[in-house]
Amino acid sequence: GQIMMVNASGGGINRLSTSMLNDDDPCYSGNGQYIFFSRPFGFGREIYRMTSSGGSPANLTSFGAFSGQPRTPGL
């Protein structure tokens, strides 16, 4: 699984994540500047953040067995 952005009209597919791992559960930050998502790590998943244009993901958690999902506040 990869994080992709697609225009509402269906064209212009843009791949935002490049890992060979199963990136999943994407959601935008409240200001739209970042995308938060989960990625496999150890026996569970970790939460990562990247800019809304993609690239340079940063690991935000370090539990090694986390099983939650990121959520946009208010949703």
Tell me the pLDDT tens digit for each residue of 39-59: 888 778 888 999 999 978 998
Q: What strands lie across the sheet with 24-28, from one edge to the other?
A: 24-28, 34-41, 44-51, 58-59
Predicted structure pTM score? 0.78
Contact 17, 57 (CB under 8 A): yes
Q: What pLDDT is recorded for position 51?
A: 93
